Structure 1
Amino acid sequence: MVVNPTAGKGRAASAGTGVLEGLRRAGHDVVDLSGPDAGTALGRARAAVAPTDRSAGLDALVVVGGDGMVHLGAQAVAGTGVPLGVVPVGTGNDFAATLGLPVRDPAAAGLALCRALDAGAAGRRAVDAAFVTGPGVPTGGRWVAGAVSAGLDAAVNARANLLRHPRGSARYTVAALLELVRYRPWSYRLTFEGVVDAGAHAADLATRRRAAGRPTSRPRPGDALRLCPGPAGTVTWTGRAALVTAANGPQIGGGIRVAPAAAVDDGLLDVLVATDLSRPGAAAVFPSMFTGGHVHRRKVHVVRTRALTIEPGPDAHADGERALPVAHADGERLGPLPLRVEVRSRALQVLVAPR
């Protein structure tokens, strides 16, 4: 077990103690791998997941905290077959909410863990994870459970991490307001590999226009993200965008429905691209992201693909340009562009109590 004692305004420390004692009372042998910092805890978790003596391996790794702890746990167990148990007591808990786990109820989460462990294979759910590589990504690559943000949402995430007040999800809203004041769209080059669906958004808009009695014979500029053929079956897009998010799951930031149709077990990324929005346009889009309504706006596009490379565009380093945001993943700092995001189907096993 690994506990983040600062998660959930300090609730995780007591929650971790309660869950640990509950698991022990249920007959499980629990080892506390928590450390004074995330790096130490991750090192201990990795050593326990892949020990020199195979007979000493873990049955599961349990993390207590928010999405940042899910991110830490994924680095240790993704691709290994060792399941990840989650006690979600953080601020966001988006990954846990997506999987229907008990959120901010450590007692219920502990009971669910016991039921999942007792159920054996029936208590595991295989879900996808994204693997991110790039010259600025540390340790050769990072696993991501939820989403990779590289646009305004990444800038907001970075700003929110610096704020001391307010607490909770309201901090993200305050950070968004501060970032919108100086926002301008950035220049990107996106390369998609294995695109499955690039036209659903435009088709949805056409359906809505017909229902509203509006003409659809001449598409309006921006209705479809204009992808150009690239080498080896890839397609590319170059232009200015406010948002570039590669989502494995539907939500980020404590309930922001960034990619409402995304599924964690479909072997695909839902890539959200909001093209050159004005400052008022970006400000209008942000509130609708809490319901997922932003995906119906004309300059917001979703491309479903197996991999995505995000690079600075041709104007990214021109005089007067704002620096591109540093990419974030699961609410954690990931690194500067360029980077490549590839979905790995069913790379992560999660403890989920059978219904």
Structure 2
Amino acid sequence: MNPTAGKGRAAYAGEGVLAGLRRAGHDVVDLSGPDADAALARARAAVDGTGLPVDALVVVGGDGMVHLGAQAVAGTGVPLGIVPVGTGNDFAATLGLPVRDPAAAGAALCRALDAGPAGRRPVDAALATGPGLAGGPRWLAGAVSAGLDAAVNARANRLRHPRGSARYTVAAALELVRYRPWSYRLTFDGVVEGPGLRLRPGPAGTATWTGRAALVTAANGPQIGGGIRVAPSASLDNGLLDVLVATDLSKAGALAVFPSMFTGGHVRRRKVHVVRARAVTIEPGPEAWVAGERPLPVAHADGERLGALPLRVEVRARALQVLVEPR
């Protein structure tokens, strides 16, 4: 559990989840640590069998805890249980899990465990790789942000006030004041569709786009930032990423697009494009090194800092098993 998630709700909720699972007859070990690195090390040891082995890993918190849990269980077959009591909870909301109701989430978790294989839902995850990623490749459940949304995420993480999802709105206003579109080069693998964006065919079935953009987001799921529907048609189980590219928006255009992202209406705007593909490599474009250019934002995934560009994001079909009670 993350004791700071959800304004401290996760610590209280985690104790309730522990008690509820034990009352239901499960053997439970608390793998929480003094920091995220220690918790992840304990979780990985439990999943790979070098520590006390587990049949499932449960995380209590927000999307950051889902991100941490994914590092331990993606590709292993060990299922991930989620008690969503954080600020965003976007991945849990997409799965239809009870959000900010730890008692209901804990009860649903018990029912999923009791159901055996029927209580597991296989979903896609994505793997991010690149020289700027500290600690090596990173799994992600929701999305990689590499444009204005990443700058907003970084700013929100630095803000002390306001609390909750309002931080993203304040951070967006602050970033939009100094916004200019950045220069990118995007290389796609396995493109299924990409209406409107002029892609140049490349070797081995790749396609590239070079230009300035406000938003570059590689989405495995439809929403980020506590309900921002960045890629409203993205699916957790189609084996593809929805890569959102908002090209060369003026400051006024970016100001107009941001509010419509809460409903998904931005994808109907002329300069907003979605490319559906198996993988994308995001790197600085040819104008990124010109004198006076603002540095490209540091990429974020599931609200957590990833690292500097370039990086590659590739979907891995059914790499993550999630505990979801049968319907």
Task: Sort the TM-score into its range (normalised by shorter chain).
Answer: over 0.9
2:9 matches 1:11: yes
In structure 2, the partner of 1:156 is: 152
2:94 to 88, 92, 98: 98
2:320 matches 1:324: no
Deviation, 1:198, is 1.2
Deviation, 1:301, is 0.0
1:271-314, CA deviations, whole angstroms, 9 ceiling, x for partnerless residues?
Answer: 00000000000000000000000000000000000000001000
In structure 1, the partner of 2:312 is: 340
In structure 1, the partner of 2:42 is: 44
| TM-score w.r.t. length of structure 2 | 0.99
2:253 matches 1:257: no
Cα distance in 1 for partners of 2:284, 2:107 equals 47
In structure 1, the partner of 2:121 is: 125
Cα distance in 1 for partners of 2:139, 2:57 equals 16
1:183-208, CA deviations, whole angstroms, 9 ceiling, x for partnerless residues?
Answer: 00000000000001112xxxxxxxxx
In structure 2, the partner of 1:198 is: 194
In structure 2, the partner of 1:34 is: 32
2:267 matches 1:295: yes
Give the share of equivalent positions with the same residue, in percent: 84
2:166 to 167, 170, 178: 170
Q: Matched residue of 1:174: which SS?
A: helix
Cα distance in 1 for partners of 2:221, 2:283 equals 22
Q: Matched residue of 1:138: which SS?
A: coil
Which consecutive unaligned segments of at least 5 residues does structure 1 have? 200-223
2:70 to 54, 67, 74: 74
Deviation, 1:57, is 2.3
Cα distance in 1 for partners of 2:292, 2:225 equals 30
Q: Map 1:213-252; keep pairs closer than 5 Å.
A: 224-252=196-224
In structure 2, the partner of 1:221 is: none
Runs of 4+ in 1 over 2 A off after TM superposition: none
Cα distance in 1 for partners of 2:201, 2:275 equals 15
1:156-214, CA deviations, whole angstroms, 9 ceiling, x for partnerless residues?
Answer: 00000000000111000000000000000000000000001112xxxxxxxxxxxxxxx
Deviation, 1:138, is 2.2
Pairs aligned (count): 327
Cα distance in 2 for partners of 1:257, 1:282 equals 16
Q: Matched residue of 2:135: which SS?
A: helix
1:303-348, CA deviations, whole angstroms, 9 ceiling, x for partnerless residues?
Answer: 0000000010000011000000000000000000000000000000
Deviation, 1:52, is 3.3
1:69-103, CA deviations, whole angstroms, 9 ceiling, x for partnerless residues?
Answer: 00000000000000000000000000000000000
Deviation, 1:62, is 0.2
In structure 2, the partner of 1:354 is: 326
1:88 to 74, 77, 84: 84
Cα distance in 1 for partners of 2:194, 2:32 equals 43
| TM-score w.r.t. length of structure 1 | 0.91
The amino acid that maps onto 1:187 is S
Cα distance in 1 for partners of 2:120, 2:88 equals 23
Which consecutive unaligned segments of at least 5 residues does structure 2 have? none
Cα distance in 2 for partners of 1:153, 1:17 equals 34
In structure 2, the partner of 1:277 is: 249
1:37-61, CA deviations, whole angstroms, 9 ceiling, x for partnerless residues?
Answer: 00000000000000138xx521100
Cα distance in 1 for partners of 2:154, 2:243 equals 20
RMSD: 0.7
Cα distance in 2 for partners of 1:119, 1:89 equals 24
The amino acid that maps onto 2:14 is G
2:183 matches 1:187: yes
